[in-house]
Amino acid sequence: MEYDEEFMKRVNIVASRAGLSVEKVLQKVEQYIQEMRGLVKLDGALSLVANDLGVGPSLPSEIPSYLVIKIDRLVPGMRKATIQGKIVRMYGILEYVNRSGEPSERVEFKIADETGQIDVIAWSKSVVDMIKRGELKEGTVVRISSARASERFGRITLHLDSNSDIEILSSGYEDVKILERKPLKISEIYDKGGEEIDFEGIILSIFPISEFTREDGSMGKRSSLIMRDKEGGTIRVVLWGNKAKTSDELSEGSIVLLENVRVVIRDDSVELHSTPRTKFSVIREGKEERRDIEANVLYKFPVEEVGITKKKRFLDLLVETDGELSILRIWNEWVKLFEREDPPFRIKLGPTYRGEDGILMLSKSGEVEILGRSKEKLSPNIEELSKKIKYKRMWIGESSDGLREFRGTVTYISDLAKISFYCPNCGSRVKPEYGKFYCPNCGEIENAIPLLYLSFIADDGTGIARVIAFREKAESILGMTTKDAIERSNELGEATYSIPTEHIIPNLLGKEVIVRGRATYLESGVVKLILDEIREVDPKQEIRELMKEIRDSWLSGSDNLENSDG
């Protein structure tokens, strides 16, 4: 490596002050350049060496005691880094419990220069006091020195301790703008994994707080929400730690603004997770959307369960209220009230609100009463009518999230149907080991809860849907129970607990089918459908549906056929 005369003059100064040979100083400079992957140049590396040797502050004025590093040049592992920029997002003072178990405070904010932006976490009381005095706020230009760069959620973060300094600068970075607080829609966050965003939507469901055991044996808490944005898309919001108790303060049907929630991408699906910086603002209370109603129950769907360890039961009903047909969803203890009742009958319930796809939802605090029974006979087509109201028929390529019905051709079937196992205590996925199971939280356990699943692809010409069948749906397609599948897997010696699907391929591959279930649009452009029902296409039924669609499209509102181009 070649060095110019000016650079070598500086090297000699550093070597003299530190009592080292010039060769030793140059060796340290080259080590820094290699460690930083070429992100710092000779002068910058020399400044870092001078700081490490404790001679930085004593250098002559023409040699700065610090090197201001651009944000896009920071890499994990840097020590004593110095950066300058504008505070573009202030998260403020956050409370936490320190290693001694005592309550403490830290400061978090985001700083930006012309090359990028980075999160800063300050653990020192002096910075906390600067916030309390109002000296640090959005728009303040600062120089941060002696900071440590590390990785957090896949992104570089700067940490400030008692040895770090923050100096307020009078000007600079006029072109760097404070971050706009604009809530994003679900369709806008699929490429923002790991980032923190703002989101606004209506709360459809609130799930209670549950406890879990961490790897270190400590207990944690979580709860979750299902929310819908203005475009009709739905998303799960997971609340962790102290934020979990927020679910008790929120109500279904409320419109809420979430600030600083982290985007988590899992298997092409997207969730929002709370962080210590997350804030909740209720824009409109859910009470405005709720109402008590009386309705005629016309059809009762089979009772369903969600969850693996802590299962929740729900029941969907086709109801008529004020001349409108809707799907009503009842949860948990109220399911028992209807299990022995056969439609038609009349009910009174409330408070209710409109949830996903216009489904009527009974509030957690709601009440239900059966007013009377009817001896009238219902149409023999009531079951199919109920399903068409519950599952909206759409083209796969035009589908949004929600309960959907697709018609397509099965073009692929997974080679294997698989069985996963889950801990009955904490719900974590567990590994089978020599006839027993190992849970990452609970250790070795005797028994685990099996979950059978398989997948196939349906194509309707506008897009493809990856259909996933779980539990009894997978059992029905395979023609065997989960217990049979486990035994078959053992016979085959499959360590991963899976069985071939070759026996169902002739009956399913290439067939045109109707699939119904919950659809989610994935980042890859594929639609994922959690299967509720599958059946082969009935051509006569499809023709009747097509004729009805033509009549509705061409003849509604027309006095006669001659008035249309048809």
Shared-domain flag, residues 500 and 414: yes
Shared-domain flag, residues 525 and 407: yes
Shared-domain flag, residues 145 and 102: yes
Q: pLDDT by residue (tens digit) across 275-317? A: 888 989 998 886 544 468 899 999 999 999 887 777 788 999 9
Return the structure tokens found at 70.
């651009």
Residue 268 pLDDT class (50, 70, 90 cuts): low
Choose from 50-59, 232-241, 313-322, 355-364 the range with maximum mean pLDDT: 313-322
Shared-domain flag, residues 62 and 90: no
Identify the CA nearest to 463 among candidates 407, 505, 402.
407
Cα angle, residue 194 at apex, residues 98 and 228 outer, rounded to 5°: 105
Q: What b-and-e string marks burial along 195-224, b requiring 16 or more CB atoms within 10 Å of the CB?
A: ebbbbbbbbbbbbeeeebbeeeeeeeebbb
Q: pLDDT by residue (tens digit) across 499-520? A: 999 999 998 999 999 999 988 7
Residue-range definition of the domain harbouring residue 206: 186-287
CATH number at residue 85: 2.40.50.140
Using the predicted structure, report yes or no on whether residue 543 has a pLDDT greater than 80: no
CA–CA gap between residue 44 and residue 497 (Å, rounded): 56
Lowest-confidence pick of 11-15, 110-114, 266-270, 275-279: 266-270
Shared-domain flag, residues 247 and 315: no
Strands 269-273 and 234-240: parallel
Residue 51 pLDDT class (50, 70, 90 cuts): confident
SS3 per residue for 459-482: ECCCCEEEEEEEHHHHHHHHCCCH
Examine residue 431 and state whether it is found in any structural domain, yes or no: yes
Shared-domain flag, residues 515 and 400: yes
CA–CA gap between residue 261 and residue 120 (Å, rounded): 17
Answer with the one of 15, 32, 66 that is the final residue of a domain. 66
How far from 458 is each of 47, 399, 494, 531, CA to CA, in Å? 61, 14, 28, 12
Average pLDDT of the chain to the nearest whole number: 83
Examine residue 59 and state whether it is found in any structural domain, yes or no: yes
Strands 116-122 and 155-160: parallel
Shared-domain flag, residues 441 and 296: no
Examine residue 555 and state whether it is found in any structural domain, yes or no: no
Examine residue 562 and state whether it is found in any structural domain, yes or no: no
Q: What is the pLDDT of residue 221?
A: 83
Shared-domain flag, residues 372 and 338: yes
Residue 355 pLDDT class (50, 70, 90 cuts): low
Examine residue 72 and state whether it is found in any structural domain, yes or no: no
Shared-domain flag, residues 491 and 422: yes
Using the predicted structure, report yes or no on whether residue 414 has a pLDDT greater than 90: yes
Average of pLDDT values for 378-389?
88
Q: pLDDT by residue (tens digit) across 54-73? A: 666 545 444 444 578 888 88
Q: Nearest 5°: phi and psi at 376?
A: -65, 145
Check: CB of residue 241 under 8 Å from CB of residue 273: no
Examine residue 123 and state whether it is found in any structural domain, yes or no: yes
CA–CA gap between residue 480 and residue 36 (Å, rounded): 58
Count: domains in the chain: 5
Residue with tokens 């003849």: 555
Shared-domain flag, residues 152 and 255: no
Examine residue 383 and state whether it is found in any structural domain, yes or no: yes
Answer with the one of 389, 414, 435 that is the final residue of a domain. 389
Shared-domain flag, residues 416 and 527: yes
Angle between helical axes of 42-52 and 22-35 (0-180°, round to 10): 110
Q: What is the pLDDT of residue 9?
A: 84
Answer with the one of 117, 138, 169 that is the final residue of a domain. 169
Q: What is the pLDDT of residue 473?
A: 95
Shared-domain flag, residues 442 and 320: no
